[in-house]
Each structure stands twice: as structure tokens, then as C-alpha cells.
């Protein structure tokens, strides 16, 4: 079954993979920016919101509007220029890596799109308002946003893909694969 999927992915047009990559990234950027816009518009800074019917949930989850000028977990506050440059480097690196991927699983392209979308979503905030809008507060964990969640899901997906790849028995290259690489 796994060999059949690999053969299907090898015959899938490269353009379709790029389309998937950019569509995933665009959807994440759109959802991220829309949710941040709603939070900035409707919830005052440093306040939380939860519908009255879900008040029992407040110790565990709520919407809490903050502006993060640092990195994850609030580290490195006031490093906006550094993080803009770092984000631009990450975005460039992802696009470069994806443009050189050969016969990778479609899930690898999805993971790259999730990461790109998250990086661009937070980059837009840093450039336009000088900080990243965070609003998802779960328990005592740090407050995050759609872009952060997308990056974390991407990393988890990549770890799973690498783990699955390592578990596969190594097989010699088929003649057609060797011919393609020469």
C-alpha cells in the first residue's frame, strides 16, 4: 500500500504540489489575520472574553487579547526588528527548500505550507503593528494564535513524517528512479 502511494506521488504533477503548498499557506494566513482582526476589533487589550454560557470553561480556556513583542512564551521582548529579519529568513528558507523538494510525500508539502502560513501570519503583524496579536489562552499555558498553532502542527507533522520514513526498510533505487536522477 505504501509503495502505491509513493508511486502516485511521484507521478503527481509538481505544479499540483506547489498549488497545495501555497493554498495551505494562504488559508492559514487568511484565517490567522481574520481572527486577529476580530480580536483587535472586539476585545480590549489585556482582557479576556468568554460567552456567559461557557463561563465554567474560564479556568481552562478563554480568549485573552495581548500583544507579544517577543517570541514564543513571551521570550525576548522588544526584539521586533530581529524577529522580522528572522521571519524573512525562515520564509525564504521554506520557499527555497520546497522549490528543491523532489519526490516528497504530499504531507511534506502540507507541513511546509502550514509552517509558511504561520511564519507569514506573524510576520504581517510584526511589520504592520509592531507586535504579534495573541489571544488563545488554554489553562496556564502561554497565549498563542492561529499562526503559532499552525507552526506547531507543522513541526509535529514533520516529526511524524521523519519518524515514519526512518521506520521504512531501505530499498534499492529502482531503475526508473536512478535514470531520473542522472
Q: What is the set of active-site residues?
A: 134, 148
- Spatial contact of 79 and 70, defined as CB atoms under 8 Å apart: yes
Tell me the three state secondary structure of residue 148. Answer: helix
The 132-138 sheet, strands edge to edge: 48-49, 61-68, 132-138, 143-144
Could you give the C-alpha distances from 45 to 63, 68, 159, in angstroms and in order? 11, 11, 35
Q: Which residue has the cell 517577543?
A: 70
Amino acid at each position: 500500500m505504501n509503495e502505491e502511494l509513493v508511486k502516485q506521488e511521484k507521478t503527481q504533477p509538481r505544479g499540483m504540489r506547489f498549488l497545495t503548498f501555497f493554498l495551505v499557506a494562504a488559508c492559514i494566513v487568511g484565517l490567522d489575520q481574520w481572527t486577529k482582526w476580530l480580536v483587535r476589533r472586539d476585545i480590549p487589550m489585556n482582557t479576556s472574553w468568554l460567552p456567559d454560557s461557557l463561563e465554567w470553561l474560564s479556568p481552562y480556556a478563554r480568549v485573552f487579547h495581548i500583544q507579544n513583542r517577543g517570541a514564543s512564551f513571551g521570550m525576548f521582548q522588544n526584539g521586533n526588528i530581529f524577529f522580522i529579519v528572522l521571519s524573512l529568513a525562515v520564509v525564504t528558507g521554506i520557499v527555497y527548500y520546497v522549490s528543491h523538494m523532489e519526490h516528497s510525500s504530499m504531507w511534506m508539502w502540507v507541513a511546509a505550507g502550514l509552517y509558511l502560513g504561520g511564519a507569514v501570519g506573524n510576520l504581517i503583524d510584526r511589520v504592520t503593528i509592531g507586535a504579534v496579536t495573541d489571544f488563545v489562552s488554554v489553562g496556564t499555558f502561554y497565549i498563542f494564535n492561529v499562526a503559532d498553532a499552525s507552526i506547531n502542527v507543522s513541526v509535529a507533522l514533520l516529526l511524524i513524517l521523519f519518524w515514519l520514513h526512518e521506520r521504512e526498510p531501505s530499498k534499492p533505487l529502482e531503475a526508473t528512479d536512478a535514470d531520473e536522477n542522472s
